[in-house]
């Protein structure tokens, strides 16, 4: 088990090293340096700049040193917990990103807090009796909500709840300080899109367990049905959904981009898009590394957790 974890962690470090190196080389191109200059100084002044001025500007930003030197510097800084400096915000990346990650973390917490019970209950109810009315209706609802992309869910919710009924604010920019009410629509959008997938996975797992011999035995022994479900079926049926739920972390990092941009919520996804459009290399670097880290870590947790929970794999 420890060997497995160690190997996966080593793989993660390797992947992150490769990713950061590729990003550094990609963003070192002249085109990107120009993009930063245009974003910061405006198109006209960059066009009017002489080569010498441009070189001075590069130097002031520390972009004139060769890429391998910058990479070495950056890795050195990273080991001391320094992510570099944002060109756009003129502040340390760790500070800019810390705030945004906290906001997205709160968003993600509520998404999971709502999605896990909702999808498990729906999935279990559907899987208890395969082919029954409740099974078919849950499956249909799940396909339906998953088929509506986040952007469309966001629009439908905004139009109905915010504009039509006027219950909630339409945007979540939090201009007047933190406001939890503004969090409701983004959370609902993400939950509605994602719960269908987890519910279907839970349903499949539950349906498989219900056809197994030991459940039939338990029912035939005359144990009350509720007890069979709670005591016997759930323990095995919840192993597969566990891995699926952990892997949703990876999906959430993609999903938040469009939802945060649509609702103007100042989170990690919006920061990533803004940094990419600006060419803010160090922010993109740091954000990508965080995203890859979370994604790989969730994969490791789901693999290790699955091995831990499922004795059939553990002992073979």
Partner 1 sequence: MTDTTMPAPRLSLVQRLKRPTALIVLSVLMVIPLVAYVMFGEPLARAGIREIVLIPAIPATLILYALAMSSWRESWVAILGGTLVFFWVFVAVSVPFLPLLDPNKPIRPFAQPGTEMGDITFWLGTDLKGRDMLSRMLWGCQRVLVWGVTATAVAYVVGCIFGLIAGYISGIWDEIISFISNVLLSFPVMVLFILILNYLGPSGFNIVIAVTFASAPAIMRIVRGLALDNKTRDYVFAAQTRGEHPFRIMVWELLPNVRGPIIVDACLRLGYTTVAITTLTFLGLGLQPPDPDWGLMIKESANLMVLQFSYMLLIPALAVSSLILGFNLMADGLREMSLRD
CB 156 within 8 A of CB 148: yes
Smallest distance, partner 1 to C-beta of residue 136, A: 10
**Cβ atoms 281, 85 nearer than 8 A:** no
Query: Distance (Å, rounded) from C-alpha 220 to C-alpha 227?
Result: 13
**Closest separation in Å from C-beta 287 to partner 1:** 8
In whole angstroms, the minimum distance from the beta carbon of 310 to partner 1 comes to: 20
Answer yes or no: are the C-beta atoms of 285 and 84 closer than 8 Å: yes
Question: Smaller CB distance to partner 1: residue 38 or 294?
Answer: 294
Residue for token digits 């323990």?
235
CB 261 within 8 A of CB 276: no
Rounded to whole angstroms, the Cα distance separating 285 from 109 reads 24
Least distance (Å) between residue 28 CB and partner 1: 12
Given candidates 155, 174, 184, 215, which one binds partner 1 under the rule CB under 8 A? 155
Q: Are 107 and 183 a contacting pair, CB within 8 Å?
A: yes
Q: Which stretch binds partner 1 (CB under 8 A): 106-114, 154-162, 212-220, 229-237?
A: 154-162
- For position 205 contacting partner 1 by CB under 8 A, the verdict is no
Residue placing its CB nearer to partner 1 in the complex, 119 or 299: 299
- Among 273, 301, 304, 309, contact with partner 1 (rule: CB under 8 A): 273
Q: What are the structure tokens assigned to 272, written together?
A: 């990533």
The first and second tokens of residue 91, run together, are 């502040």
Segment interacting with partner 1 (CB under 8 A) among 52-60, 99-107, 149-157, 301-309 = 149-157
Q: Pull the structure tokens for residue 263.
A: 């609702």
Binding of partner 1 at residue 164 (CB under 8 A)?
Answer: yes
List 5, 49, 64, 146, residue binding partner 1 (CB under 8 A): 146
- The token duo for 138 is 């849950």
Residues 16-75 interacting with partner 1 (rule: CB under 8 A): 18-19, 23, 26
Shortest spacing between CB 210 and partner 1, in angstroms? 17
Least distance from partner 1 to the Cβ atom of residue 191, Å: 17
How far is the C-alpha of 35 from the C-alpha of 173, rounded, in Å?
A: 27
Beta-carbon contacts of 100 under 8 Å, excluding residues fewer than 6 positions away, are 266, 267, 268, 270, 271
> What is the nearest approach in angstroms of partner 1 to the Cβ of residue 27?
8
* Rounded distance between C-alpha atoms, residue 176 and residue 191, angstroms: 26
- Of 71-79, 80-88, 163-171, 184-192: span binding partner 1 (CB under 8 A): 163-171
Structure tokens at 134: 């409740």
Q: Which residues, in sequence order, are bridge partners of residue 92?
A: 85
Return the number of the residue (20 or 103) whose C-beta is nearest partner 1: 20
Among 171, 215, 219, 303, the residue binding partner 1 under the rule CB under 8 A is 171
Q: Are 183 and 110 in contact (CB under 8 A)?
A: yes
Binding residues (CB under 8 A) for partner 1: these are 11-12, 15, 18-19, 23, 26, 143-144, 146-152, 155-156, 158-159, 162-164, 170-171, 250-251, 253-255, 257-258, 261-262, 269, 272-273, 276-277, 279, 284, 287-288, 291-292, 294-296, 299
């Amino acid at each position: 088990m420890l060997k497995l974890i160690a190997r996966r962690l080593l793989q993660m470090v390797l992947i992150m090293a490769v990713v950061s190196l590729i990003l550094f080389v990609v963003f070192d191109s002249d085109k990107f340096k120009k993009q930063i200059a245009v974003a910061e100084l405006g198109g006209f002044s960059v066009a009017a700049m002489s080569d010498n001025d441009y070189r001075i500007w590069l130097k002031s930003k520390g972009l004139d040193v060769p890429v391998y030197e910058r990479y070495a510097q950056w890795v050195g800084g990273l080991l001391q917990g320094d992510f570099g400096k944002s060109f756009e915000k003129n502040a340390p990346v760790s500070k800019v990103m810390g705030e945004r990650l906290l906001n997205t973390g709160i968003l993600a917490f509520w998404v999971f807090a709502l999605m896990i019970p909702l999808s498990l209950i729906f999935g279990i109810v559907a899987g208890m009796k395969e082919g029954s009315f409740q099974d078919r209706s849950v499956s249909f609802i799940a396909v339906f909500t998953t088929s509506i992309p986040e952007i469309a869910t966001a629009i439908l919710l905004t139009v109905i709840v915010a504009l039509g009924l006027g219950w909630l604010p339409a945007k979540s920019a939090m201009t007047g300080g933190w406001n939890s009410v503004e969090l409701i629509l983004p959370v609902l959008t993400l939950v509605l899109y994602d719960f269908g997938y987890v519910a279907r996975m839970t349903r499949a797992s539950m349906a498989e367990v219900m056809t197994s011999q030991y459940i039939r035995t338990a029912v035939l022994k005359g144990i009350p049905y509720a007890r069979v479900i709670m005591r016997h079926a759930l323990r095995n049926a919840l192993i597969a959904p566990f891995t699926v739920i952990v892997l949703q972390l990876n999906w959430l990092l993609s999903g938040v981009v469009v939802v945060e941009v649509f609702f103007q919520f100042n989170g990690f996804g919006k920061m990533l898009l803004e940094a990419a459009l600006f060419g803010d290399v160090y922010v993109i670097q740091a954000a990508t590394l965080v995203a890859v880290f979370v994604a790989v870590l969730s994969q490791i947790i789901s693999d290790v957790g699955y091995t831990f929970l499922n004795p059939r794999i553990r002992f073979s």
